[in-house]
Every structure is written in structure tokens, then in C-alpha cells.
Structure 1
Amino acid sequence: MRFGIGIPQFFGDGEFDFDAFRTFLRRAEELGFESGWTQEQVLGPSSQLSALETMTYAAACTERLRVGCAVFVTTLHNPVHLAKSLATLDQLSGGRLDVGVGSGGPRGGIFPAFGLPPERYIARFTEGLALMKALWTEDPVTFKGEFWQVENGGMHPKPFQKPHPPIWMGGSAEAALRRAVRLGTGFFGAGSSPNAVFAEQVRTVRQLLADSGRDAGSYPIAKRIYTLIDDDADRARTRMNDALASIYGARIEAIESAAVAGTPADLVRGVREAIDAGAELVLFTQVGDPAEQMERLAAEVIPQLG
């Protein structure tokens, strides 16, 4: 089993503590976490640092910890700029980058804020990802797409990892799962997916891998779990629901029901269910004090999952 931890991102104006941030990341390495992960939310109700810059700073603070984002909403990015930024970070980190990508879905009015029409967002997503991969692996690049065109272009340096950093994708509908198997190198179950739903997604992904002749052993499966440890289980659930409402701007029953909050024993049960459902990497997205929660996860939960 591999375990990841959420990198602290939620800070108000003037609240960021450089020393505490560096200490958290170095401690995550000491505790044996394989990776630290960010989330991307450019517009929203929560006060949240940008994913890419936070990952870059985190990589500079550490030596072994992998850094990732679950997920970049790549439809909101220019794929050429994003490919360059990610290749640079992969070089600066010595090949410690993981890249989660998502289309964003039909996210209401968000696309016009980025100068984009909401129509054909899936086509824009798949084409943008294809262009990023081409820029990472080909030289020169000639790309004739519906949205972007490149004529004998080159991008250097290429990513440190070859052919490129791991590409994690998620999804719930069968079309999204097919896309994840076709275009990604790993599947990431969402924090809003209850374990029973996640287990069905894993079964579908593994069948799709078999149907396409891909080796399931080279296609890892991960699960994000929102977690909060408190010796008072009822208080833990209240704190969790309040925190999630603050992050997402409203109470969302699906996310609340998938989150694991309670005593250490409650967390062991909930996380073990995700592992039994197929998770090979568990991303603890800790709610509450990040450092305190990380210490308790490492001391009171992870040792019980062996």
C-alpha cells in the first residue's frame, strides 16, 4: 500500500506560515508518506492557494516526496502553457510529479470566466491532453486540431520522467471510465465516491483494461478520502460536514457520505473498505488542523492497515 497526504492550501490573506508549511512537508517525508497532493480551484468560495505554485514550493521543500494535483481542470488551461509548466516542475523536482487531469464537467457558468464556450468541453479536454503529450514526447511537433494547431514546434526540456509524468484520471459514468483507461496511466477515485460506488468503478476499469489488452499491474488505482480524526465521533462528523460546506460553498450529501470522520477505529474501518474495494494508493485529504491530523493518521490509522 501507498499513502498520500493533502498539502495545506487553505489560507486567508496574510495567514500563510512559511516555516509551518516547510515543517509539515518535511515531516510528511519522515512519516513515510509517498506523495503530497493539491487540488485546483481558481474560482470558488474557499480561500485556496493555486495548485501549481503550491506543488512547486512543496517540491523545493522536500527531497523524496512526490507532488501531485487531483485534479487540474485542463479545459480551463492553455495546453501549451500547462505542458511547459508541468515539464519544468518535473525537471525541478527530479521526476517527482504526478498529474491528475479532468474536464471539469458542465460546471455551470465557469467556462465564460475563462473566455471559453461551454460546448464541446470533452472534445477540448481530449484534444488538449493529446497536445500536451505530443509536446512532452515528440520533436518537432506538428499538431492540427480543432482548437489548437502547432507547426514544427518544439518544447524543451522534456519532462524528467519518460515518456511523461503519470496521468491520473477519474470519472463515474462509463464513458468517463473508458476515457480514463484510453488516455490515462492510472485511475483516481473521487472523494465524493462512497466505497461501494468506487468498488464498482474499479471493477469496470479492470474489465476495460483487460478488454484493451493493457496490463492492470501497470495501471494503478487510487482513492481520495476526506478524513477527520476526533476521539468524539459525533463531533468529528459535525466538524467534517462544516468543513466540507466551507470548501464547496454548500452542504453536498454525496461528499459528506463518502468522507470518513470519527475515532481512529472508525477511520481504520473506512479506509480499509476503500483498500478492499481496490485502492492501491490512498490519498488522505485531512480536514481540520493539517499537521495534527497527519500525525494521528500516521500513528493511529496507517499501522492498523497492514
Structure 2
Amino acid sequence: MRYGFYLPTRGQTAAPEALEALVERGEALGFHAVVIADHIVFPTTIHSKYPYTVSGEFPGQRDALEQLSLMAFIAGKTSRLRLITSVMILPHRNPLVTAKMLATIDVLSQGRVTVGVGVGWLREEFEALDAADFDRRGAVSDEYLELFKAVWTQDPVSFQGEFYQFDALRCLPHPVQKPHPPIWIGGHSRPALRRVAKHGDGWHPVGANPAVPLRPPEMQAKLDELWQLTEAAGRDPSTLTISYKAPLYDVTQSGEIDKQAGLERRPFSGTTEQIVEDMAAYEKLGVSELIFDVRSETLSESLERMEHLASDIIPLAEG
């Protein structure tokens, strides 16, 4: 099992010195990866429902550092951590420019980029960015993934898609990783699973929150569906990486509160022993990477959470 952590993109812990302290300590503690979320702008009025809270309200403060710029910054502050876009909203950016930026970061980080992708949920952000049609974002995303792979592996390269086209050109250097950086697909819907089966090197769902618990039985059902879809696509399911994100968006709904309310305990909540049991259960399902949320309002508390995870929880899970 490998372990990663969320990097803040807003608040006082998103200051340069705090970000550097977090990734340097995470690397020293032996974490495998750091994941970076994606938002570019936040319209002041949002009617879109956020998929990872029970209320549907977005929990952030509606500010965020830009994902790929932050990724490049972190690449220069680390030497071993995998750098994961978690997830990058594919239709937000020009796909050719995005492919070049990701290839550049992969070259400069000496092959440490993992491209986690999703189709997005915030219609108002799509409209503000003059991005692709929100209602066709799935088809757009599939095409952009095909474009990425072409740009990263062919020279010269041309592309003639429904949503984007260009004649023969050179877009070098290619990424260090061959044939290209791993592509992990976020989401847990059937279209997302089909996207993994056709385009992905891994599945990277969010779980362990009240809106989307993805408890072991639910996770097993999704994996069974994914294996079937992957085999139907003529691919080997065993080649897929399964990376599970366990954030705590609804922090008031802890394991204890869930218990008092008569609800089933949320995965990765409760006592250290319960969390260790959860880690073993997901590893048994085939999860090979767990991403935990150590973010806090202060750097000191974020570092304490990271230390607790690395010193008290992970050793028990691996013991």
C-alpha cells in the first residue's frame, strides 16, 4: 500500500512557505504522493450541486491557487513525491496547451506526474471560462484524453476530433514517462467507469464522506463493474491502479456523531484501530494507494495530522 496526502490550495496553509514545509515533511515521512485539486474561478452565485457534501454546498472559500502552476512549484520543492492532479477538470483548459504544460512538468520533475482527471460539476465555472459545452463535457473529456496521448507519443502529430483539430506540428519534449504519464480517472458513475475502462491507467474515486461513502461493499460492486467494462474494452483489469481518496469534507459528521445518530460509521473515521481495519479492508479489495486529508486551518495542525498518520496509523496497518 502507498499513501498520499492532499495539498491545500486556499487559506493560510496555501502560502509558499507553508506549502514548502508540508511537501518537504511529507517527503521526509515517506509519503508516496501529493494530490492537488482544481478550480480556476468561482462565480459569486452558484446553483450547481457539489457532489461530495450531503447539502450539495461547496465547502471552500471560493478561492484557489491554479492547479498546474502549483504543481510546477511543488515539483521544484521535492525530489521523490508523485505529483497528482486530483482531479484536473479536462474541459477547463485548451487541450493542446494543457498537454504541453503537463509534459513540461513531467520533464522538469524527472517523470513524477500522474494525470488525475474528471469532467467537472460547476456549470457556472465552465460558462465563466468559456469552456466546452457543460452538457457534453463527458464526450469532450474523452476526446481530450485521446489528444493528450497523441501529443505525448507522436512527432510530428496531428489531430482531427469533433471538438478540437490541428494539422501536423511538433510539440516537444515528450514526457519522460513512457508511453506517457499515468492517467487516472476520477468519479464513480457508470460513465466514469467506462472512461477508466477505455482510457485510464487507474481509477481515482473520492469516498469516505457522508455523500459518497463507498464503503467496502459499495466499493466491491463498483470494482466488479469496472472489471467487466475493462474486459469488454479488450483490456486487462489487473493493469489498473486503484487509488482511493478519503477526504473529510463534512468534518462535523465524525464517526462518533454518526454512531449517535444511528448511522453506519463512515470509512476512515473513528478510532485508530477502526481506521487501520478500514485500510486493511480496502487493500483486500485491490486498492493500492490511499490518499488522506491532513489539511487544517494552521500549518502546525496540518503537520501534526501528517505526523500522526505516518507515525501512529500507517505502522499499525503495515505491522
Q: Residue 176 of structure 2 aligns to a residue in which SS?
A: coil
Matched, 1:87 2:103: yes
Q: Tell me the equivalent position of 1:265.
A: 273
Partner in structure 2 of residue 294 of structure 1: 306
Q: 2:79 aligns with which of 57, 63, 84?
A: 63
Query: Residues of 2 paired with 1:193 and 1:82: CA distance?
Result: 32
Change (3 A) 1:16 1:8: closer
- 1:188 is matched with 204
Would the aligned equivalents of 2:36 and 2:84 in 1 still touch at CA under 8 Å?
yes
Corresponding residue for residue 224 of structure 1: 245
Give 1:16 deviation, angstroms: 4.5
* Residue aligning to 1:246: none
Quote the residue 1:171 is aligned against: 187
State the partner residue of 1:282.
290
Task: Decide whether aligned partners of structure 1 residues 237 and 9 sit closer, same or farther in structure 2, where only a CA change above 3 A counts.
Answer: closer
Question: Normalized against structure 2, the TM-score is what?
Answer: 0.80
Structure 2 contact 245–291 (Cα < 8 Å) conserved: yes
- Kindly provide the amino acid, as one letter, of the partner of residue 266 in structure 1: Q
* 2:8 paired residue number: 8
**Structure 1 unaligned blocks of 5 or more:** 229-235, 242-255
SS in 2 for 1:161: coil
Q: Which residue of 1 aligns with 2:223?
A: 202
- Report the CA distance between 1:131 and its aligned residue: 1.2
Choose the corresponding residue for 1:146, options 150, 156, 162: 162
1:238 alignment partner, one of 226, 236, 252: 252
Measure, in 2, the Cα distance between the counterparts of 1:8 and 1:163.
30
The residue type equivalent to 2:283 in the other structure is: I
Q: In structure 2, how many angstroms separate the alpha carbons of the residues matched to 1:11 and 1:240?
A: 23
Partner of 1:26: 24
How far 1:30 moved relative to its partner?
1.6
Which residue of 80, 89, 100 corresponds with 2:116? Answer: 100
Compared CA separation, residues 237 and 109, structure 1 to 2 (3 A): closer
> Is the 1:226–1:260 contact (alpha carbons within 8 Å) kept by the matching residues of 2?
no
Aligned partners of 1:43 and 1:291: how far apart in 2? 28
Given the alignment, which residue of 66, 77, 83 partners 2:93?
77
1:225-262 per-position Cα deviation (integer Å, ceiling 9, x unaligned): 1259xxxxxxx952869xxxxxxxxxxxxxx9756333
Of 92-101 and 34-43, deviating more is 34-43
| Contact 2:202-2:242 at 8 Å conserved across structures | yes
**Equivalent position amino acid for 1:301 in 2:** I
Partner of residue 125 from structure 2, selected from 99, 107, 110: 110
* Contact residue 226 and residue 287 of structure 1 kept, 8 A: no
Code of the residue aligned with 2:307 in structure 1: it is E
Normalising by structure 1, we get a TM-score of 0.83
Distance in 2 (CA, whole Å) between partners of 1:206 and 1:259 is 23
Question: Judging changes above 3 Å, is the alpha-carbon distance between structure 1 residues 272 and 113 closer, same or farther for their aligned structure 2 residues?
Answer: same
Does the 8 Å CA contact 2:247/2:293 hold for their aligned counterparts?
Answer: yes
Letter in structure 1 aligned against 2:314: I
Q: Displacement, 1:283?
A: 0.8
The 1:239/1:60 distance shift into structure 2, 3 A limit, reads: farther
Q: Distance in 1 between matches of 2:23 and 2:238?
A: 29
Residue 267 of structure 1 aligns with an amino acid whose one-letter code is I
The amino acid across from 2:125 in the alignment is: I
Alpha carbons 2:114, 2:184 under 8 Å: kept = yes
Letter in 2 for 1:194: L
Q: How many residues align?
A: 282
Aligned to 2:141, the other structure's residue is in SS state: helix
Deviation at 1:156, TM superposition (A): 0.6
Change (3 A) 1:258 1:240: closer
Deviation at 1:124, TM superposition (A): 1.3
Q: CA deviation at 1:201?
A: 1.3
Considering only aligned residues, what root-mean-square deviation do their CA atoms show, in Å?
2.5
Letter in 1 for 2:214: P
Which consecutive residues of structure 2, in runs of 5 or more, have no partner in the other structure? 43-59, 256-263
In 1, are the aligned partners of 2:150 and 2:157 still within 8 Å (CA)?
Answer: yes
